[in-house]
Amino acid sequence: MVASFCMTDHHLTIKSRHGHSLAAVLHIPDGKGTFPLVVFAHGYRSSKGSSKIMAIMAAIQDRYACLRFDFSGHGESSGDFESTTPTRGAEDMEDAIAHVCQHAGKDIKKIDATRLAFFGSSFGGGVALLVAARHPELKALILFAPASDYHFRKAACEEARKQGKQAINVPFNRTGTLPIRCQMVEDGLRHDFYALAKMIGCPTLIFHGDKDEVIPLEFSKRLKEALPNGRLDIIPNADHIFNDDERLLDELVTRCEKFLDTHLV
């Protein structure tokens, strides 16, 4: 454990219910008092060190405990990447939260688990929705272009299966295309994210670019309508990756910071 700015970093190895080792870092502010907990869920093929996660954490680390982890098969976590699905991601996230709440040692006394917030980006946004529906105590939810609907990939995956393929290539803003496993789409089809959203009572802030080619903006519009306390900030001329514009990212980080300060403090 090492000091980092005004926080203490705990590097954790969390055993998931499937036997995988999940790499995680728990950041707890130094000083007295108890601190709300913000849990970060990264995107598909990303990691706990993503630019958005690190930027938001840098802005709030003096007053919030922060948990960031790698989904199984991603980053420093063990496991088979091909097994990545929304269901497996939600199980990983639940296991990470449970570990921190049960095994963080004496510093757990500095975490106020009754003041809990989730952040999810893309795939991690869909996962955060699944987990949020099971946590009525949740105080705030922030989503960046969440993967809340898999039906628009169904036909392509069915055709790929007929051809003996296991994945489809979808447009991706920076790299041209992104391979998506059919197994992940098929699992996503088993979840009604909009029905689950109706169960999430906490204030929810969604960011979505109007030029997103990966996840249609219409899904977040529908999600906002399903959420009892949802807000959708549509970002003009933004694609699926918000990191390319440093000034835009700074602005979104400020909005996240204000949102958390309103609902967690």
d(CA 150, CA 77): 25
Q: Identify the pLDDT of residue 155.
A: 96
Coil/strand/helix, residue 205 = strand
CB-based contacts of 94: which residues, under 8 Å, 6+ apart?
131, 134
From first CA to last CA, the distance across the chain in angstroms is: 26
d(CA 54, CA 248): 15
pLDDT in tens, 146-202: 999 999 999 999 999 999 999 999 887 666 788 899 999 999 999 999 999 999 999
Give the β-pairing of 21-29 and 65-69.
antiparallel
pLDDT in tens, 97-156: 999 988 655 566 789 888 999 999 999 999 999 999 999 999 999 999 999 999 999 999
d(CA 107, CA 139): 21
For residue 4, is pLDDT > 50?
A: no
Apex 195 CA angle, 41 and 256, nearest 5: 35
Q: What's the chain's average pLDDT?
A: 92
